[in-house]
Structures are given as structure tokens and as C-alpha cells.
Amino acid sequence: MTKPNIHYADLKDSYLFFGIAQKVKKYSEEHPNEKILRLGIGDVSLPLAETVIAALTQGVKDQAEKSSFHGYMPECGAPFLRATIAEFYRKRGVDISDDEVFVSSGASDELGDILDLFDKENSALVIEPAYPAYVDANVIAGRKIIRFAASYDNGFTPLPDESAAADIIYICSPNNPTGAVFTKEKLKKWVDFANAHGSVILFDAAYEAFIEDDDIPHSIFEIDGAKTCAIEICSLSKTAGFTGTRLGYTVIPKSLSRAGMNFNAMWVRNRTTKTNGVSYIIQKGGAAVFTDQGQKEIKENIAYYKENAKILMQVLDECNIKYTGGKNAPYIWLKCPNGLDSWAFFDLLLERIQVVGTPGEGFGKVGEGFFRFSTFGSREDTVEAAKKLKLLFSKGE
């Protein structure tokens, strides 16, 4: 008889954002006249940049002509996009070659797929609170998970100690959910730790485009020594509004090897077996993001979300509610008022003012007592939510 993967039984009943969507759907069905204000999942509300749309449109036209038609795309990514991304890194002072860049269908897909590179016996260190897919993907694989707590006191960017010794180490900066960012000095400590222990860091850089402080690293490869211990996973979802279009990229340095096996070569082998590449049309649109005009337009969209962040932060400041994030990241991570637990606060906001956020507990037990607002909503929703939050908090609720 078929033996199922028994590790599914170790997962929570539903994935965090799926569970929240179900709760909100039920509330909406029971209260059809209430307008829901969505500050929950980090899904963008602005359309793609004009330059990207023009490139996507050209991609469609190319597919209509025999002379420019593309069938299967190269499994590791179109050469034109790999070269564009590598050049983007080099312009930022990080020396990456084209064949160290792998095009993916998005960071969340890749964060799961990349685990194919690691033995099942490897342990995985998750700095919590954390994006829940890190834990879930390793639970499904039956891997041992070591939870390493970040806290308000260490700015949610802890430094390694011996209890962090693990084979795979997840670091997300700017961080989802706390919005905290690792400085170069702090990241260097993790890089040195990983090299000393023979670990591999999976660096989730999905939110790097939101960094506004000059001294915060956008890439782990800005840190000396990272090329022998890190894989960087990036996404155009939040950078350029591709949540529904799907495109990302991963950097695996050729100098990353363990036990005589090279991770870049292994990933080529994996991709050539497991994918037929990302759609030509989408890659064509993605390349436009890295042009000067594309960068200008995506930065305008990011500025819009940052304005949303300011609107929410102002209310929290006025109501003396402690929070992190909102500056170099599109998430605001706040302490639930009046000592409420995070799901109680979720229910309160939904029922009283129809604002949806994400309970901190969903990002790990250490997230209990905290709550996350996404700044990716529409301006109208954000302004209305801010007004309602202010009224609610000023009543002491």
C-alpha cells in the first residue's frame, strides 16, 4: 500500500494566510454590507509598471510571429534575463556572473524547491518570528527544526550563539514579519558563523527594494565570505508587483560547495530535471524591471506603499503603541495593546472596525502578543483603517 508522507500530520491544520482568508470570507458572508480593510497578506494593490506592461505586450507579440517565437525556455532562465540581473548586482558592487543567477517562478516556490539541495538529516535554523513557509517546508521534509528567538530587545535581529548551530540557516532581511533589517556588521557575524560551522544560509531578500538606509545591505553577497556559505532568494513580487505574474531569481555562487559537491552545479541538474523554465513572456516583462525606466517606475510604486506605512506609523506613534518596521520594509510589527493575545486582537479588529491584519502567533510562538500590518493595501483602505484604528485605540481598546 502507498505510504503517504506522514510529516503532513505534523503541520498546523491550515497554512497561516489560507486560514486567515477563510476566517475573513466567513465574516464577509455573515456581514455582507461591511467593507473589509485589508492590511493582512502582503499582496500588492498597484498594477504593474507601464514599462513592464509594454515588455509583456511585446513578449506576446513575439510569440505571434514565427521569427520571434519561443518554445521551451532554458531551464535555469533566459540568458537575456540572467545577464540583466547579474549586471544589476555588478552595478551595486557585487561581482556575480550570469550563470550564478537562476530565474524562478517566485521566491515562495523557490524556498520550498531549494530544499532539494539538502539532505533530509540536515537541521534547519529558523529565526522566529518568521515567514511560516520556512517551517512548513521543513516539516513536510521531516527535517529537524531549531527555533531561534528574536525579540524586541535585540531589534528582532539576533546574533548567533552556539544554540544556533544548524546545517541550514534562514535569514530574512528586511524581515517578514518584523520589518527589522540586519546591518552589515550583524550579517557578517552570521556569515562567519556559517562558514565556521559548514552551514548554508538561505538568505531571503524578497523585500530588499524597500531598504532606504544607505548602510543596510541589499544582498548577503555584500558581506565578505558570503560566497562560500550563502544562497540568496529574491522576488519581483513585492519589488515590482509580480505577486500574480510570478517571477523571482536565486543566486548560487559557484564557490559554494559542501562534502565535495557544488551547489550551483547541483541546482543546474535539479532545474534541468524538474522544470521547463519560466514563460518567455514573463521573463521579457521581468527584464524591463531592471532598465532605468523600469527602476524609476517601480520606485514610484514602492514610494506609494511607503506613504501607506507613514500613515499607519503616525497613528501608532500618536497612540503610543510600540512597533518595528515600516521604514526599510513594507511591514509594521506592533505590540498588541492591552496585553491582548494576537488572535484576540485579530478578532477585535475584524469585528469592531473590519480591519484585517496578521496575528503574530502565526509567525511562531515568540510572535504571540504582536501583530503585523501590511502596507501593500490601497491608499483609501489604509487611510480608512488608520482613522478607525485611531478611534479604537483612543477609546483604550
Looking at beta carbons only, is 22 or 394 nearer to ligand MLT? Answer: 22
**Nearest distance, CB of residue 341 and ligand MLT, angstroms:** 20
Establish if 382 lies at the interface with ligand MLT (CB under 6 A).
no
**Binding range to ligand MLT, per CB under 6 A, among 38-46, 82-90, 245-253, 272-280:** 38-46
**Nearest distance, CB of residue 131 and ligand MLT, angstroms:** 6
For ligand MLT, which residue has the nearest CB?
42
Looking at beta carbons only, is 41 or 166 nearer to ligand MLT? Answer: 41
Looking at beta carbons only, is 41 or 282 nearer to ligand MLT? Answer: 41
Looking at beta carbons only, is 59 or 362 nearer to ligand MLT? Answer: 362
Please say whether the beta carbons of 235 and 111 come within 8 A: no
Establish if 41 lies at the interface with ligand MLT (CB under 6 A).
yes
Looking at beta carbons only, is 111 or 164 nearer to ligand MLT? Answer: 111
Establish if 42 lies at the interface with ligand MLT (CB under 6 A).
yes
**Nearest distance, CB of residue 244 and ligand MLT, angstroms:** 12
**Binding range to ligand MLT, per CB under 6 A, among 35-43, 46-54, 134-142, 215-223:** 35-43
**Nearest distance, CB of residue 230 and ligand MLT, angstroms:** 20
Binding site for ligand MLT (CB under 6 A): 41-43, 108, 131, 176, 374
